[in-house]
Amino acid sequence: MSTRVRSAFGQEWPRQASTTARSGVTRIAAVQMASGPNVEGNLNEAARLIAIAADQGAQLVALPENFAIMGVADEDKLAVREKQGEGPIQDFLSATARRHKLWLAGGSVPLESSVEHKVRNSCMVYDGQGTLVARYDKIHLFGFEMGGESYREERTIESGREVVTVDSPVGRLGLSICYDLRFPEIYRAMKEVDIILVPSAFTETTGKAHWEPLIRARAIENLAYVLAPAQGGYHVSGRETHGDSMIVDPWGVVLDRLPRGSGVVIANVNLAYLKRLRQSLPALTHRTIHQC
């Protein structure tokens, strides 16, 4: 691709510029999928798409929420839940990160919880050696009733409690999942992060109305990049997810996006540009109302 993106300062960077220490520019990627009930098939598709991102020079790749399973029923994920550090989904993430020598965020993995009939919906982050370096359990659980659609994540998911950030070679990462996007206070609690991850499976109904404005708002108000991989398409359960995976810069500019179907979006992260933005508009230091 030869497409170029223009920054808020009028500077242009090629989307596929090579990653160099001298330039301080690195590459990140979001994978979009339309996962089904077969874990092995989903992992094979994820492997294919991660390889594409790696070939494009991505140092951080993020998978969507529920990348390993979108079951016919919500309870299907209970049958494939794993203990932390054990199981084929986590083995896949670790081995794939190590194989490509990149940081890999498994959008969400169903892990065992303290409640027998529930899971923790967990974003698992692995470094280039395949070591688990961060785990975030989804805090806000989606509930929605409109027309014939009904979702109640609390029936099968146990909520997390901890806000999680982690330092990486491409910057400080703030972890969140899907419905968290509607709650800006979670991102304020992260303090200053360079890249916000929002692996998602937005419904088509809510996604077409709110997905892009929410993603861009979180980027603008936190002066951070947002990396938002999503489920995008029709699923065996009959559910339709919105897709539109995107990467947004700290000025709210959409650097790359994929409206529908399986694929990869990729863009540059420039921490020097981020620093200049925060110096020019130090909104994060101008806050006068803080949580007690």
Q: What share of the chain is helix, strand, coil (3-state, %, to 5)?
A: 30, 35, 40
Active site residue 292: no
CB 8 within 8 A of CB 251: yes
Q: Which of 45, 77, 112, 178 is catalytic?
A: 178
Cα dihedral: 179, 287, 220, 201 (round 10): -10
E strands, 189-288, are: 195-197, 225-228, 232-234, 240-242, 245-248, 254-258, 263-270
**Whole-angstrom distance, CA of residue 102 vs CA of residue 59:** 5
Active site residue 65: yes
Q: Which of 118, 123, 138, 153 is catalytic?
A: 138
Q: Which of 45, 65, 82, 112 is catalytic?
A: 65
The H-or-E segment that residue 87 falls in is none
- Residue 18: both structure tokens together: 């090579």
DSSP code string of 116-144: TT-EEEEEEEE-TTS-EEEEEE--SPPEE
Active site residue 178: yes
Q: Is 122 exposed, middle or buried (0-12, 13-18, 19+ CB in 10 A)?
A: buried
Q: Catalytic amino acids? A: 65, 138, 178
